[in-house]
Amino acid sequence: MQVHAYGAHAGDKPLEPLRITRRPPGAQDVQIDIAYCGICHSDLHQVRAEWAGTRFPCVPGHEIVGRVAAVGAQVTGFKTGDLVGIGCIVDSCKHCADCDAGLENYCPDMVGTYNGATADAPGWTLGGYSQKIVVHQRYVLRIRHPEAQLAAVAPLLCAGITTYSPLRHWRVWPGMKVGVVGIGGLGHMGIKLAHAMGAHVVAFTTSESKRAAAKKLGANEVVVSRNADEMKAHARSFDFIVDTVAAPHDLDAFLVLLKRDGALTLVGAPPTPHSSPNVFNLITQRRTIAGSMIGGIPETQEMLDFCAERGIVADIELIRADQINAAYERMLKGDVQYRFVIDNATLAA
Ligand code: NAP
Ligand code: ZN
C-alpha cells in the first residue's frame, strides 16, 4: 500500500514529500493510521547523516500515535479503532536474554523505527513522518490518555521513556536530589517525570530565558549552567543527574555536583564525543558515569500508564508537514517549548 510521507534523499538535502510503500499486515501485525508524530533531535541527527550509517531515502519519526486500522489473524491485544503508539522499536530477535527481560532496546538485533534493517522495501525501516505504519503486535503500545491529549502523548514514546527508564533504573525516590541537564524535548519530560516521582528536581539550562518556564514544568530550582557561582552552590549535593544535551560539553562541570556514589547518566547522543572526564572527579567520590538508551516495551507501557494516571503529557507545538524543515532549524536554536509534533493529516495536503 502506498502512503504519503516526508523524508530526505541525502543528508544535505531538506525533507520533502515522498510516497512510500507499507507491507500488508501479516498475522501478527497491527496496521496503524498515524495521527501525530513528534520530532526528536535524533531524527535530525539521523536524517542529516550526523550519525554514521544513514540510508536514503530516510523517513524519520519514532514518536508515533494513532488508531488501529487493521489487525492480523493472530493479533490478540488490539482491535480496529484502538488508540495506540509506536516508539523507537519495531522489531527485535524476540528470544535473547534482553528480549526475554523485556529490554528489547538492548537486543543486538533491535530494529529501529527508521533506518533499521528490514525485509520490507526499500530494505530499511521508514518512520512516523508518514500516514500509516505496520508493526508486529509486540511493539505496539496502548494509550490510555483521553483522545483530546493524543498529540501531546506522542513525545512520551521517545522523550518520555528515555528519561523515565534511567529515573527508574537509578531508583529515584521521594526527596532524592535529581538534576536534569538540558531543557529540550527529553529534558522537559525528565523534569515532569522526576517531579511526579517526588524528587527534588534541579533543572540545568544554558538558556536564561527558560528559567521561569522550567519551574512551571516542576523544577524546584533552575541553574544556568554557564554561571559558575550558581553551579558551585550545588557542589557534592546530587544523588543522580540525567544529561539530555545534544552536543558535546564539559561533563566534569556536572560530575563535581554529585555526592559520594552519585551517578551521571548520559542520554543525549551528540555526533562527536565529549572530552574525557577528569578521572579524579570519579575516584575521589566513587562516582559513576553511565548511559541509557530509550526503554523496553513493558517499561514503555508502564511509563504511558504512569503518565495517563497523573495526566502527564508533553508541552508541544503542533505543526504542518511543510513546516518540518523550519522546525528543525528552530529546534537547533532551542526555540521550541518543548517538542514539535507533526499533524500527520497534513502529509496528504
Ligand atoms: P532538543 O529538544 O534539541 O534538546 C536538547 C537540549 O540540550 C536543548 O534544548 C538545550 O537545552 C541543550 N543544549 C545545550 N547546548 C546545546 C547545543 N550546543 N546543541 C544542542 N542542544 C544543546 O533534543 P532532544 O530531542 O531532547 O534530544 C537530546 C539528545 O538526546 C539528542 O542528542 C538525541 O539524539 C538524544 N536522544 C537519545 C536517546 C537515547 O535513547 N539515549 C533517545 C532520544 C534522544 P538548554 O537550552 O536548556 O540548555
Ligand atoms: Zn527520539
Q: Are residues 37 and 118 in the same domain?
A: yes
CA distance to 31, 35, 161, 308, 326, per residue, from 137 (Å): 9, 18, 19, 21, 34
List the helix and strand counts (H, then E) for the chain.
Answer: 11, 17
Residue 97: phi and psi, rounded to 5, are: -60, -35
Which sign does the torsion angle of CA 203, 208, 211, 214 carry? Answer: negative
Q: pLDDT at position 62, please? A: 98
Would 305 be classed as within a structural domain?
Answer: no
- Minimum mean pLDDT range among 132-141, 179-188, 208-217, 339-348: 208-217
Distance CA 129, CA 324 (A): 10
Which of 205, 217, 244, 316 maximizes ligand 1 atoms within 8 Å of its Cβ, making it the mutation to test the pocket? Answer: 244
Q: What is the CATH number of the domain that holds 260?
A: 3.40.50.720
Domain for residue 306, yes or no? Answer: no
Q: What domain range is 224 assigned to?
A: 160-291
Q: Are residues 275 and 211 in the same domain?
A: yes
| 186 in contact with ligand 1, CB cutoff 6 A | yes
DSSP letter assigned to residue 131: S
- Is the CB–ligand 1 distance for residue 41 below 6 Å? yes
66 pLDDT band, cuts 50/70/90, is very high
Q: Is residue 99 part of a domain?
A: yes
The mean pLDDT of the chain is: 97
State yes or no: pLDDT of 349 exceeds 90: no
219 lies in some domain: yes
In this structure, the answer to whether residues 44 and 98 fall within a common structural domain is yes
State whether 74 and 122 are in the same domain. Answer: yes
Domain assignment of residue 302, yes or no: no
Are residue 15 and residue 149 in the same domain, yes or no? yes
For residue 327, give the ligand nearest its CA.
Answer: 1
Look at the alpha carbons of 253, 256, 257, 262 in this order and tell me if their dihedral is positive or negative: positive
User: From the CA of 266, which ligand is nearest?
Assistant: 1
**Same structural domain for residues 88 and 208?**
no
Domains: count for the chain:
2
- pLDDT band of 134, cuts 50, 70, 90: very high
Distance 182 CA to ligand 1 centre (A): 6
Residue 341: beta bridge partners? 38, 318
Are 229 and 319 in a shared domain?
no
Collapsed DSSP state (helix, strand, coil) of residue 164: helix
Specify if 214 maps to a domain.
yes
Task: Give the other-Cβ count within 10 Å of 159's Cβ.
Answer: 30
Look up residue 325 and give its three cell numbers. 524543515
**Each residue's pLDDT tens digit, 236-286:** 999 999 999 999 999 999 999 999 999 999 999 999 999 999 999 999 999
Residues 8 and 150 in one domain: yes
Q: How many residues does the chain have?
A: 349
- Is the CB–ligand 1 distance for residue 337 below 6 Å? no
Q: Same domain, yes or no, for 214 and 152?
A: no
- Work out the pLDDT band at 34, boundaries 50, 70, 90: very high
Residues 112 and 193 in one domain: no
Cis peptide bond upstream of 155, omega within 30: no
Q: Same structural domain for residues 51 and 63? A: yes
Cβ-in-10-Å burial (0-12, 13-18, 19+) of 17 comes to middle
Please check whether residue 339 lies inside any domain of the structure. Answer: yes
End-to-end CA distance of the chain: 18
Question: Does ligand 1 lie within 6 Å of residue 60's CB atom?
Answer: no
Quick one: 50 and 110 in the same domain? Answer: yes
> pLDDT > 90: what percent of the chain?
99
Q: What is the pLDDT of residues 72-128, one digit of tens each?
A: 999 999 999 999 999 999 999 999 999 999 999 999 999 999 999 999 999 999 999
CB atoms within 10 A of CB 324: 26
Q: What is the DSSP string of 214-274?
A: HHHHT-SEEEETT-HHHHHTTTT-EEEEEE--SS---SHHHHTTEEEEEEEEE----SSPP
Q: Is 206 in the pocket of ligand 1 (CB under 6 A)?
A: yes
Percent of the chain with pLDDT over 70: 100
Which residues lie closer than 8 Å to 314 by C-beta, 6 or more apart? 38, 152, 153, 154, 155, 156, 159, 160, 185, 188, 189, 338, 339, 341
- The answer to whether the CB of 79 falls within 8 A of the CB of 59 is no
Beta strands 258-266 and 288-291 are: parallel
Whether 105 is covered by a domain: the verdict is yes
Ligand 1 atom with the shortest distance to the CA of 267: 41
Other Cβ atoms closer than 10 A to 277? 18
Give the CATH number for residue 97: 3.90.180.10
Q: What's the gap between Cα 148 and its chain centre? A: 21
Task: Give the relative orientation of helices 185-196 and 159-169 as an angle to the nearest 10 degrees.
Answer: 40
